[in-house]
Amino acid sequence: MNEEKDQEAAGISHDMACWGIFRQHMWGILKQHLQMVSDALDDAHVAGFGTKDVSNAWGRIGIETAGNALIAGLAGGNIGSVAASTAAGDVATIATRQWAESVARSMTDDADGQRVIENVLSNVIGAGAGAAAGAASGGDTTVNALSGAGYASAIQQYNEAHENEKTVEQKDLPTGYVGTSSIDNPKVIHHVYSEYNGEDYDLVGGAGAPVRDDKGNVIFRQRETGEYFVFVNNKKEIPEINGVHTGHTTVSQHSATITDIIDPDTNKSVSDRVKIQTALNDLYSSHLSYLVNQDGTFIGERGTGNAQIMPSSSDPNTTAETFARQAFGGQVPSRFRPLTVKNQTGGWAAIFADGMAVTYRPAGAASFRTKKDMATVEINTDSIRNIKGGNLKFKFPKD
């Protein structure tokens, strides 16, 4: 008798497992199409298909719940349990998404870290709500409830990915910026105009195939300068591409491999330009900001190579050394060594903990390409290397 019960139990377990696999496979195919429909309706601004507000997500929740319940019915599963599980998971994740975002922002300033925390919180909440609803509505606690939680998690992950692929709307633009769309694609802004300074920004790749950064934000090109920007939360920001993040310049970051993104309209590298923009932004916010003009050029007149020619003076050595020490920014060098070049003493090289290097050479202590009455200061940082491709040299001539 016990043997017969064991065999019956084994058969039931096998049937449940097969049913679970079948339902997962069928739901995987169907849910992709249902979510594409929901996303298309949301892009078209049809009410009820949003991803962050339950009051504007009833259509999305209903369509995904009905689809999962349909698969459950075709496969002989518990329709009520699966429907309850999917709906509860969707409602819970969408209702708490903004809370998850606020928690993530309170824990870290890093955008990537915030996204990870948001997704973990949302998926835990969705899984728990889906499992609880599935079990409460009569589902098997080991199959229907937990698989429903899994679907809720999968749905939320897909919806989160869709959040990152939105195009720019007027509400996303800073005050004073006006977006324009085309008759063919009225929902997609392809041109932005600044009423403050008359600058124009064009959508890279056009409305049909916009180019995006690592965060899924569509990239715009400033028409006059060729610089690239994204418009997020009423701000104009530099795009984030393969580890190059504004305000976080590190050696490891800039030595990372960068996958090139080509602007299809100009055939130029978006990645290279963004790297320079990021480096300039870092310089503007550092103690070396005085080295950069507002138009992104360096102070002084452009010389050959990476040299900038500074105003002449009666004592170029004193002028240059004062300029070199100004670059310390109040820091104490971790290493400092005197230099003797061509029998000229008085020069030195200073290395700092953040990797910055400052070198001073008095007149006569440079190469044959430099006039003998010129003193030289070299400043080397990660940001400067990314802009100039090497050290930045300032030449100080004699009156």
Residues 225 and 271 in one domain: yes
In a domain, 121, yes or no: yes
Rounded Cα–Cα distance for residues 128 and 153 (Å): 10
- Least confidently predicted of 34-48, 119-133, 154-168, 338-352: 154-168
| Between 384 and 129, residue with greater pLDDT | 384
Residues 153 and 238 in one domain: no
What pLDDT, on the 0 to 100 scale, is given for residue 230?
95
Top-ranked range on mean pLDDT: pick from 23-27, 65-69, 129-133, 334-338? 334-338
Residues 31 and 129 in one domain: yes
Q: 């103690």: which residue's tokens?
A: 287
In a domain, 111, yes or no: yes
Going by pLDDT thresholds of 50, 70 and 90, the confidence category of residue 254 is very low
Say whether pLDDT at 137 is over 60: no
The vertex-220 CA angle with 216 and 221, nearest 5°, equals 140
Going by pLDDT thresholds of 50, 70 and 90, the confidence category of residue 256 is very low
In a domain, 293, yes or no: no
Residues 6+ apart with CB under 8 A from 296: 280
Residues 230 and 95 in one domain: no
In a domain, 296, yes or no: no
Of the residues 285, 309, 339, which one is the last residue of a structural domain? 285
Residues 320 and 276 in one domain: no
Of the residues 99, 128, 163, which one is the last residue of a structural domain? 163
Residues 34 and 146 in one domain: yes
Rounded Cα–Cα distance for residues 132 and 84 (Å): 9
Going by pLDDT thresholds of 50, 70 and 90, the confidence category of residue 251 is very low
What pLDDT, on the 0 to 100 scale, is given for residue 371?
78
Rounded Cα–Cα distance for residues 18 and 28 (Å): 15
* pLDDT tens digits for range 348-358: 999 999 999 99
In a domain, 8, yes or no: no
Q: 């009833």: which residue's tokens?
A: 58
Yes or no: say if 169 and 103 are a contact pair by the CB < 8 Å rule: no
Domains in the chain, number: 3
The mean pLDDT value for 174-187 works out to 88
What pLDDT, on the 0 to 100 scale, is given for residue 52?
57
Mind spelling out the 3-state secondary structure of 314-376?
CCHHHHHHHHHHHCCCCCCCCEEEEEEECCEEEEEEEECCCCCEEEEECCCCCCCCCCCCCEE
- Least confidently predicted of 103-112, 170-179, 268-277, 324-333: 103-112
Q: Which among 239, 334, 243 has a CA at the least distance from the CA of 281? A: 239
Residues 176 and 209 in one domain: yes
Residues 153 and 189 in one domain: no
Residues 158 and 24 in one domain: yes
| Between 248 and 303, residue with greater pLDDT | 303
Say whether pLDDT at 253 is over 50: no
End-to-end CA distance of the chain: 111
Residues 27 and 151 in one domain: yes
What pLDDT, on the 0 to 100 scale, is given for residue 233?
87
Residues 63 and 119 in one domain: yes
Residues 20 and 112 in one domain: yes
In a domain, 86, yes or no: yes
The mean pLDDT value for 371-393 works out to 91
Rounded Cα–Cα distance for residues 161 and 153 (Å): 12
* Domain around 104: 14-163
* pLDDT tens digits for range 185-233: 777 899 999 998 999 999 999 888 899 998 889 999 999 999 999 999 8
In a domain, 6, yes or no: no
Q: Which among 276, 246, 302 has a CA at the least distance from the CA of 383? A: 276
What pLDDT, on the 0 to 100 scale, is given for residue 370?
72
CA distances from 159 to 22, 51, 155, 230, 376 (A): 23, 6, 6, 21, 57
What 3-state DSSP class applies to 395? Answer: strand
Of the residues 134, 163, 192, which one is the last residue of a structural domain? 163
In a domain, 41, yes or no: yes
